Amino acid sequence: MREYLLGNAAIARGLLEAGVGVVAGYPGTPSSEIIENIVDLKGEATLHVEWSVNEKVALEVAAGASWTGCRAAATMKHVGLNVAADPFMTLAYLGVGAGLVVISADDPYCHSSQNEQDSRRYCQFAAIPCLDPKNPGEAKEMAAYAFELSERFNIPVMLRPTTRVSHARSDVEVSDVRSVNRLGRFIKNPARRVALPVHARPLHSELLAKQAILEEALESAPWNRLVLRGKVGVIASGIAGLYAEEAIADLDEEISVLSLGTYPLPKKLIIRMLEHVSRVMVIEELEPVVEEQVQILARTVNPNIEILGKNGFIPREGELDFLLVRNAIARMMARPERATLASAASGILPARPPSLCPGCSHRATYYAMKKVFGKKAIYPSDIGCYTMAVNMGTVDTCLCMGASITLASGIRHGGEEEGICCSLGDSTFLHGGMTGLLNAAYNKARITVTILDNSTTAMTGHQPNPGTGMTATGESTVQVSLEDLAKALGAGLVETVDPYHLDETIESFARAKEHPGLSVIIARQPCVIKARKKGARPKSFRVNEDCVGCKNCVNFGCPAIEFDNDAAKINMLCTGCGVCAAICPANAILEAI
C-alpha cells in the first residue's frame, strides 16, 4: 500500500517496520516529527519511545538499549549532534549490540537553525557510516537498512536527512509495524564496553580496519547508481542526485550520472566514472565531502580530468535546487542558462517575519525585564521562540542551547559592569542550562537568569519536557520543580512570577537586579497556543475613546493591537492576556463586558 508521507513520517515507518525497540530524541527542526510519528504509529507495539532531556542523553539511552540486544535509534537535528558528539565519537569504537541508528537532520540554508553544518563531516570524523537519502521513500528504506548495516559491522550508523527530505512529502510504500519483544539483556564484556585506554587502542585499530569492508559492502547498495553515457559526467549525493536527474532530463543531454547515497563512498563506482569521462561535475549540498574524494581518486585514475564543483559552480553554503543545478550543468555543457526569477514583492509588499504570537507571555516578561534593567543592560538569550523577540532589545546573543547563562557569566567575568539579565526557555534550561547555572553559582557570576517557563517545547511543536509532568506518549510522570532545581544548583534568589501580572513581574525583576549574587526569575505562563488547544476561554479587551494615540501598546508589538485613525484598536487575534491594559498610560484599554 502507498501513502502520502512526510519524510519524517517515512523514517518513523522505516524504524517501526524494522522492529525498533527503543527510540530516544530531543526535538529540533527538521527532525522533530520522527518521534511524534513513532508515538502516533506504534499502536500496540511495546517499544519504548522518549523525549530525552538532550541529544547526548538520547544517544546514550539508545546505545544502552542497543547493548541489551534491542534495536535502537536516537533522533536529533544537526546541531544536536554537537551535544551528542561525545558518545558519538567513542561509540564508533565500542560498537553495538543490536543495530544502533543515529538520525541527524541537517538544515542547509538555516531554515530554522543557527548554522548549516554538514553531518557527513561528523561521520568522516568518527569513521561511522552515513546514509544520505534523496527523498522520503529512500529515507524509509535506509532507516530499515541502517539496522542491518549496524549489526553486520558492529558499528553505529547515521541516517542524515536534510530539511528537503524530512519536510518533503511523497508517495511511499508502507507495510506493517513489526511488534518487538523487548527482552534485552546486558551482557558484560569490559573489552568492548569499557573505554579504558587499554581497550580503546585495539578498538581504534578495529574501527579503522572495518572501513574497507564497510566500503565494499556499501558499493552495491541500491542508492548508489551509475549510468554511463556521454564523456561528461555528474556525480551527485543525496537530494542533489534528484536535482541532477531532473536537470539532465530537462536539458535532454547524454550525461553520465553517478548518484550516491552512502558513506564511506563507493570508490569503485567513482573510479569507473572517472575512467569513462573527461569532465565531471560534483554536485552536493554544503561541504565538498564527495568532491574531495573525487579529487584524490582522480590523481591516480585520470589526472587530466576536469573536475567542476565548489570551484565556482556549486555553492558551499545554502541549499541547492533544481534550477541552480540545471544552470550549473547548462554552463558546463555551454547551453543557455534559465533565469531565476526574483519575487516581484519588493518595494510593494511589507515583510512578514515570524513573530511572537498574540498574547505570548514572553513579550510581557521581556517588557518587564527591560523596564527594570534598562537599555544599557546586557541581555544574553538562547534558542527558542523567544529569540524572535530580538526587536524588543532583550536578545543580545543566541549561540547554542543553554549558552545564555554561560555567556552572561563570561561577560560578567570579562569586566562588564552593566546589569546582565539572560533568558532561556524551560526546555532549553533543562537541556543545556542547568550546568551553566551551577557553574554561575559556583564561580560567583553576578547575573540574573530568567527562565521563560511556558511549560512546553514550543518552537519545535509543543513537545513535553521534564517540567511538564508528561512523557512523549502522554503518560503522567514526575514533574520536576524548576524552583527546587534552581535552588539546588546554587542560585541565591529564586522567584516565580506570572508575566501577565506586569506589576508583580517588574517588582520581582527589581529585587533580582539588586540581589548581590546569582538570581533566578521563573516567568511562568503556559504557551498561548497550547492553552487555546486545551480550551482556554479568553477574555476580550477593547480600546475606548480615552486613547491618546501614544502608541505604547502598539510598540509593545502584539499582533492583536493595530493602529488606525490615530488610535489603537484590538483585533480578533486577542487572547485576553490583558498586558496591554496594564501598559496603557491613559487607562483606555478595558475588558469588554
Partner 1 sequence: MRTSECDMVIVGVGGQGVILISDVIGRAAVLAGKPVCGAETHGMAQRGGSVINHTRIGCRFSPMVASGGADVLVALEPGEALRYAHFLSPAGVALVNTRPVLPTTVTAGLAEYPPLDEILAPIKAQCGRVTTIDAITLASRAGTAQAMNVVMLGALSRYIPLSEETILEALTQVVPPRFLEANKRAFALGKAEV
Give contact residues for partner 1 (rule: CB under 8 A): 2-4, 6, 29-30, 33, 111-112, 135, 164, 167-171, 239, 242-243, 245-246, 249-250, 252, 321-323, 326, 338-345, 348-357, 385, 388, 459-461, 551, 554-555, 557, 559, 561-563, 571
Q: How far apart are CB 349 and partner 1 at their closest, in Å?
A: 5
φ and ψ of 458, to 5 deg: -70, -50
Residue 239 or 290 having the CB closest to partner 1: 239
Query: In the complex with partner 1, which residue's Cβ is closer, 221 or 251?
Result: 251
The CA distance from 386 to 384, in Å, is 5
Distance set, CA 359 to CA 239, 364, 531, 542, 578 (Å):
40, 9, 11, 14, 8
| Element at 303 (helix H, strand E) | none
Residue 313 or 563 with smaller CB distance to partner 1: 563
Tell me if the bond preceding 264 is cis, omega within 30° of 0: yes
How far is residue 51 CA from its own chain's centroid?
14
The x, y and z cell numbers of residue 164, run together, are 528537503
Cα–Cα distances in Å, from 231 out to 112, 247, 256, 280, 327? 40, 17, 7, 9, 19
Sheet with 262-263, edge to edge strand ranges: 48-51, 22-25, 72-77, 100-105, 157-159, 130-131, 262-263
Q: Which is nearer to partner 1, 183 or 342 (CB)?
A: 342
Nearer to partner 1, 297 or 556 (CB): 556
**3-class SS at 480?**
coil
Nearer to partner 1, 239 or 486 (CB): 239
Cα 583 from Cα 313, distance rounded (Å): 54
Distance between CA atoms of residues 235 and 265, nearest Å: 12
How far apart are CB 271 and partner 1 at their closest, in Å?
Answer: 28
Q: Which of 155, 281 has the CB closer to partner 1?
A: 281
**Lookup: cell for 585:** 498610560
* Min CB(314)–partner 1 separation in Å: 15
User: Please, what is the minimum distance in Å from the beta carbon of residue 475 to partner 1?
Assistant: 25
User: Three-state SS for 17?
Assistant: helix
Residue 425 burial (10 A CB sphere; 0-12, 13-18, 19+): buried
CA dihedral 539, 540, 546, 549 (to 10 degrees): 110
The nearer residue to partner 1, 213 or 249, going by C-beta atoms, is 249
Cell of 152: 553486520
Report the relative pairing of strands 130-131 and 262-263 from DSSP bridges: antiparallel
Phi and psi at 239, nearest 5°, equal -65, -25
**230 vs 492, beta carbon nearer partner 1:** 230
Q: Cβ closer to partner 1: 222 or 461?
A: 461
Nearest distance from C-beta of residue 551 to partner 1, angstroms: 7
Alpha helices by DSSP H, 302-413: 322-332, 361-373, 403-413
- Between residues 573 and 592, which has the closer beta carbon with respect to partner 1? 573
- Least separation, in Å, of the C-beta of 163 and partner 1? 8
Query: What's the DSSP call for residue 429?
Result: I
Element (H, E) at 484: helix 482-488
Strand partners, 306: 279
In this structure, what are the phi and psi dihedrals at residue 192, rounded to the nearest 5 degrees?
-110, -10
Closer residue to partner 1 (CB): 87 or 425: 425
For partner 1, the closer CB: 293 or 404:
404
Q: Taking the complex as a whole, how short is the minimal distance between the CB of residue 34 and partner 1, in angstroms?
A: 12
- The string over 111-126, giving b where at least 16 C-beta atoms fall within 10 Å of a residue's C-beta and e elsewhere, is eebeebbbbbebbbeb
**Minimum Å distance from CB 6 to partner 1?**
8
Give the residue with the Cβ less far from partner 1, 214 or 528: 528
Query: What is the C-alpha separation between 445 and 337, in angstroms, rounded?
Result: 58
Whole-angstrom distance, CA of residue 396 vs CA of residue 380: 5
Minimum distance from residue 506 beta carbon to partner 1 (Å):
23
CA dist., res. 103 & res. 11, Å (int): 9
> Within its chain, how far is the Cα of 470 from the centroid?
22
Q: By C-beta, is 350 or 535 nearer to partner 1?
A: 350
Minimum CB separation from partner 1 for residue 485, in Å?
Answer: 28
Geometric angle at alpha carbon 281, from 117 and 218, rounded to 5°: 65
Q: How far is 436 from 121, CA to CA, in rounded Å?
A: 28
In the bound complex, what is the minimum distance in angstroms from residue 286's beta carbon to partner 1? 17
Least distance from partner 1 to the Cβ atom of residue 246, Å: 4
We find the least distance from the C-beta atom of residue 396 to partner 1, in angstroms, to be 19
User: Is residue 380 within 8 Å of 404, Cβ to Cβ?
Assistant: yes
Q: 3-class DSSP state for residue 592? A: coil
Give the nearest distance from C-beta 9 to partner 1 in angstroms.
Answer: 11
Least distance from C-beta 398 to partner 1, angstroms? 12
